[in-house]
A = this chain, B = another copy of it.
Amino acid sequence: MIRHPAFEPDPWCIRETTLDLDRLAQTESVFALSNGHIGLRGNLDEGEPHGLPGTYLGGFWEARPLPYAEPGYGDPEEGQAVVNVTNGKIIRLLVGDSPFDVRYGVLRRHERTLDLRDGVLRRTAEWTSPSHQTVRVRSTRLVSLSQRSIAAISYEVEAVEAPVRVVLQSELIANEPLPAGDGGDPRGGSAPTAPLRSEMFESTDTRAVLIHRTAASGLRVAVAMRHGLDGPEGTEATVEALPDVARLVVAARLEPGETLRLVKLLSYGWSGVRSTAALLDQVSAALSEAHVTGWDGLCAEQRRYLDDFWAHADVEVDGDPDLQQATRFGMYQVLQAGARAEQRAIPAKGLTGPGYDGHTFWDTEAFVLPMLTYTVPRAAADALRWRHSTLDRARERAAQLRLRGAAFPWRTIHGEECSGYWPAGTGAFHINADIAAAVVRYQRAVEDPAFEVEVGAELLIETARLWHSLGHRDARGRFRIDGVTGPDEYSAVADNNVYTNLMAQRNLRAAADAATRHPQIADALEVGPDELAAWRDAAEAMLIPYDERLGVHPQAEGFTEHEAWDFEGTAADQYPLLLHFPYFDLYRKQVVKQADLVLALHACGDSFTDEQKLANFDYYEPLTVRDSSLSAATQAIVAAEVGYLGLAYAYFREAALMDLDDLEHNVRDGVHIASLAGAWSAVVAGFGGMRDTGGTLTFAPKLPDELTRLAFRLRFRDTVLAVEIERERATYRRLAGAVIALGHHGEALRLTDDRPVSLPIPATVRRVAPAQPPRRGLRRQE
């Protein structure tokens, strides 16, 4: 989509060489900048044309009613939606008498580049106005990874050929009108229009600030801007502020080759409790700090932050330049989404668009945190600390549902359940085990003893309580979990979903272990020995259905008895199925939206034999339509494990290119953070074969024919590890940290110093991979 035939895909940049007005919304998502606190969509500096203007703050939301044709007990009545807050990106340019607008005049050149090492979005344009005056525009935008409240823009305009009068208007705009959504796709968002009420506006010198408050959720947001100017003599600037707009106006006359340059510093803050005065001081202070740092300083900090990130986390994909680019792009987006979220939810779209109302789902714990845990562990810890901060709301929800412990919401911004369709929302209790698994993963991978004491143990214990109250013993003594929804959203409310039951089993055991390790926490939470024993007993007796006749695990009881979906009779344009068939029909047939049993094969791999993995993968592959972006990465990982390396490669591509190629046709609403993080997992857990469920970190590297080399780096406890996969051998190297024991294809391995250790890769049995459903073959760019 962004890639252009005239340019080689750049391993470190995403470059767009022509501006396609029909794809503005898509590119705004791809070029979005964020640090997890501030999110700026890649809107053009001048604001218009736009696909969808967007400026978001992590955790900042407005309430909206959730209506029901037939309400039921426990249906959440209030939803939460991400808010398009005050837009500080706007810098309008008047050239002579004409506003710079790419729809008019002649756009001679337009290029945008997202630089994954510098962490900036660069734009260059050369434009001749309708009055035949030509200017060059260069802007560079960053959202600081080092200074959490700060975004900055350097904007230059240069006269070409002839002298020209220019005016810059650098603005803050609140309540900007949004284009009407198409409304038909439930995956879009429902962002409120004009959600902000002015509380304060102020301007002095080159500075201005606007403070607003949301009507229903009562959250305050403050935005401040401050400018530096560099222009020819006679350049003049004035500033003004009104309730919903603040504006610095700069007028200059440029001779050919002369440049007017504006550096705009932005500071964003919000609070549900702090006063207007406190917020004002907060954003002003952050702005002062940024001013002291200066533009060059901010850019240098940004580069240092990213250099450090790539040094410990880079993935090299040799042999497929598109995929190299896409993999780094994906990691960059995941970093942006999580780096400075700092105890706010990481939404499914990060802060790149309003899709899914800005909600966080199980995606974060199940797909995003694996990458963050091994690359930016502090961000993983913060995400789980955010979950922990919502524990009281989850306890209340459990009580409302007449359950014990904590029931975390299927979708939320602030912690309350915001799902308006319970069979595919509240019913999907597995999110609680996904959170527990993320806790266990983090605790295994990171030396952070305070975490378990402050966060981990309590999360494990309260989710274990939930599972114990959700399940029951049947007459044969088996522990059943009936009537819940697994990861596959084309099934719902089924008995004994294998993924759910296996994950609950691990959750129960991990909680018992944690309670045993921390008797004081157990005491404080009133976990007695009986409860602890009950968890272990339930885990031991967990019912895992198995279809003896077919020799596969049914996704849930009865699944393999259901009618097969009529794939032959389903046209290509009837996908995604949820937009063309009722849930009623989808739920009762064998059709899988996204890896479910196959996800269990990865997440709970040690609960299956190799033969079962192969049989199960073969059974589910022709049923899995991948109408969710959460599927391909998992299929890549398991395909690699069972030996379908070509298929694994194809799914790795699909996960990695989800947004650059807009494979789901909805990147306009934001990028798919989980799919992008999944691409990392496809490398590390798929081709790298990394598993962390046992006592040590083990690998089983394999290289698909399509690639010539793969390499990745990761952190494990206090070690930084580099793994390189070539055709015949894999090489392990310790870049930092202590002696570490690893596994390589079942063989034990110790890295005692920093010398690389190479080991041969056993041959993979070549098998013909099962086919995907008709018309749901592997996706390519269209």
Q: Is the CB of A426 within 8 A of B582?
A: yes
Q: Is the CB of B68 within 8 A of A582?
A: no
Chain B nearest CB: distance from A577 CB in Å?
9
CA distance A779 to B73 in the complex (A): 24
CA distance A69 to B63 in the complex (A): 13
What residue in chain B is nearest A495 (Cβ atoms)? B558
Which residues of B lie under 8 Å from residue A585 when comparing CB positions? 401-402
Taking the complex as formed, is A557 at the interface, i.e. its CB lies under 8 A from any CB of chain B? yes
A interface bracket (residues with beta carbon within 8 Å of B): 35 or more
Taking the complex as formed, is A132 at the interface, i.e. its CB lies under 8 A from any CB of chain B? no
Binds B, one of A214-222, A257-265, A322-330, A416-424: A416-424
What residue in chain B is nearest A71 (Cβ atoms)? B186
Q: Is the CB of A561 within 8 A of B480?
A: yes
Q: Is the CB of A423 within 8 A of B420?
A: no
Taking the complex as formed, is A537 at the interface, i.e. its CB lies under 8 A from any CB of chain B? no
Using a CB-CB cutoff of 8 Å, which residues 333-383 of chain A contact chain B?
Answer: none
Taking the complex as formed, is A579 at the interface, i.e. its CB lies under 8 A from any CB of chain B? yes
Chain B nearest CB: distance from A679 CB in Å?
28
Q: Is the CB of B495 within 8 A of A583?
A: no
Taking the complex as formed, is A695 at the interface, i.e. its CB lies under 8 A from any CB of chain B? no
Taking the complex as formed, is A483 at the interface, i.e. its CB lies under 8 A from any CB of chain B? yes
CA distance A326 to B588 in the complex (A): 44
Quick one: copies of this chain in the complex? 2
Given contacts A74-B584, A426-B582, A427-B584, contact A558 B557 (CB under 8 A): yes
What residue in chain B is nearest A561 (Cβ atoms)? B474
Taking the complex as formed, is A72 at the interface, i.e. its CB lies under 8 A from any CB of chain B? yes
Which residues of B lie under 8 Å from residue A103 when comparing CB positions? none
Using a CB-CB cutoff of 8 Å, which residues 402-433 of chain A contact chain B?
Answer: 402, 419-427
Taking the complex as formed, is A482 at the interface, i.e. its CB lies under 8 A from any CB of chain B? yes
Chain B nearest CB: distance from A446 CB in Å?
35
Residues 467-486 of A, flagged 1 when their CB comes within 8 A of B and 0 if not, give 00000101100001011100
Q: Is the CB of B563 within 8 A of A72?
A: no
Using a CB-CB cutoff of 8 Å, which residues 539-583 of chain A contact chain B?
Answer: 549, 557-558, 561-563, 578-583
Q: Which residues of A contact B (CB under 8 A)?
A: 66-76, 79, 186, 400-402, 419-427, 472, 474-475, 480, 482-484, 492-493, 495, 549, 557-558, 561-563, 578-585, 587-589
Please name 30 pairs of A and B residues whose Cβ atoms are closer than 8 Å in the assembled complex, sorted by A: A67-B67, A67-B68, A69-B75, A69-B76, A69-B419, A69-B421, A70-B186, A70-B421, A70-B424, A71-B186, A73-B579, A73-B582, A73-B583, A74-B581, A74-B582, A74-B584, A401-B585, A402-B585, A422-B584, A423-B423, A480-B563, A482-B561, A482-B589, A483-B584, A483-B587, A493-B587, A493-B588, A495-B561, A557-B558, A558-B558
